[in-house]
Amino acid sequence: MDGLSLFFGVEAYVKYHHVLTHGIVAAVIVTAVCAVLARDRVKVALLSLAAFHLHLVCDLVGSGADGQPWPIVYLWPFSLHETMFFHGWDLASPQNAFVWLAAVAATIWIGVRYGRTFAEAFLSASADARVVATLRKYFTRSQAAAE
């Protein structure tokens, strides 16, 4: 969803993206929307809030450009104070590629091990079961091969 603000142009994205969508107001809105759409509202609200803030930490550490950090204005509209981390890395970096690969590997592992994927958020249970079956087909050793 981060990239959707690019529809308003690169200049608007650079100027407003981390102000409007990376603060306490956005965290409350995202958490509320996720909770309203969920069956287990409290659990989903807590997980959404945690995921939102994990995203902010990842942005602070790994989304600069040309050695310059991108600020986050967490308390907007109450304050324009910018939070920056000067020891992070650029968005297009080997570190971010590793994080992405680790996230993909974890997603596959969870799908194979627990029989659930992120697809369950927007697909039917039978469609998610097909995703799990496909993951298990390609990422599980067969008994014959193991013996």
Q: What's the first-to-final CA gap in the chain, in angstroms?
A: 45
Residue closest to 76 by CA, chosen among 61, 56, 90, 58: 56
Residue closest to 60 by CA, chosen among 77, 81, 82: 82
For the chain, the domains span 1-90, 93-147
| Rg over CA atoms, the chain | 19
Residue closest to 98 by CA, chosen among 57, 62, 139: 62
pLDDT at 142: 60
Q: What would the pLDDT profile of 15-64 be if each residue is shown by its tens digit?
A: 788 888 899 999 999 999 999 998 889 999 999 999 999 999 998 998 87
pTM for the whole structure: 0.77
